[in-house]
Amino acid sequence: MMTLEPLKLEIEANVPGCRLEIIPNPSSSAQHSMLIDAEHAVAVATFLRGAPHHRFDYCSNVTGIDWPAPSKAKETGDALEEDVESAEAAATGYLEVVYHLYSMELKHGPVILRMRTQDRATRVHLPSLISIWRSVDFQEREVFDLFGVIFDGHPDLRRLLMWDEFTDFPMRRDYVEPDDYEYEPTAHDKVLLKTMQHQGGTA
């Protein structure tokens, strides 16, 4: 596991103006991460991939997290992280995208990067990192599909798992699943019961 403080200082020296914050992980894995600002994300990623002593040439996975506003958090039983950097983000909630980076060439990693949207409603744009790591292609599309993050610069940003006409984001914490499962080809148990109730039948 890399120590992030020297890496943070090095990035700040090589990417002027970037804003980085180390997010500690108190679990036994101790996989701490770095929160990077969206404005400098591509520049930070370019440095991490290109620096000869880092060579983070592989992004293994991209994941999304939904952090709802406090009122929604009470409804869902979830809460915003304590290190939210602005009162506005704390009031509105935000979406987060997490990237795990490795160097296949130098055999080290992971380094974990985070980016956050400004809110969960309309300001959900983040820069795509596909120009740095081709492996993020389908994974950014999945985060777009299931969480609603819009990745600016992605060449083929369209739904991956849900159909084109679907209008919601199933991995949002406040998502409410429909009771009409007519489209479900293999309805079982509770899904079948809800389908029959929706159609006015009995189980």
16: domain CATH number? 3.30.460.80
- pLDDT score, position 52: 96
165 and 177 together in one domain: no
179 and 116 together in one domain: no
125 and 194 together in one domain: no
Containing structural domain, residue 191:
173-203
Give the chain's domain count: 2
Please state, as a whole number, how many other Cβ atoms lie within 10 Å of the Cβ of residue 76: 13
Burial 53-73 (b: 16+ CB within 10 A, else e): ebbbbbbeebebbbbbbeebb
- pLDDT score, position 193: 76
Is residue 83 scored above 60 in pLDDT?
Answer: no
- pLDDT score, position 179: 67
> Does the pTM of the predicted model rise above 0.95?
no
The DSSP output letter for 3 is -
68 and 108 together in one domain: yes
| Lowest mean per-residue pLDDT among 99-108, 124-133, 163-172 | 163-172
Mean pLDDT across 135-157:
98
- What are the pLDDT digits (tens) for 41-79? 999 999 999 999 999 999 999 999 999 987 655 555 555
163 and 194 together in one domain: no
101 and 159 together in one domain: yes
22 and 44 together in one domain: yes
- What are the pLDDT digits (tens) for 164-181? 988 899 999 999 877 665
Positions of E strands within 117-170: 125-127, 150-152
Taking alpha carbons only, the member of 47, 59, 56, 116 closest to residue 84 is 116
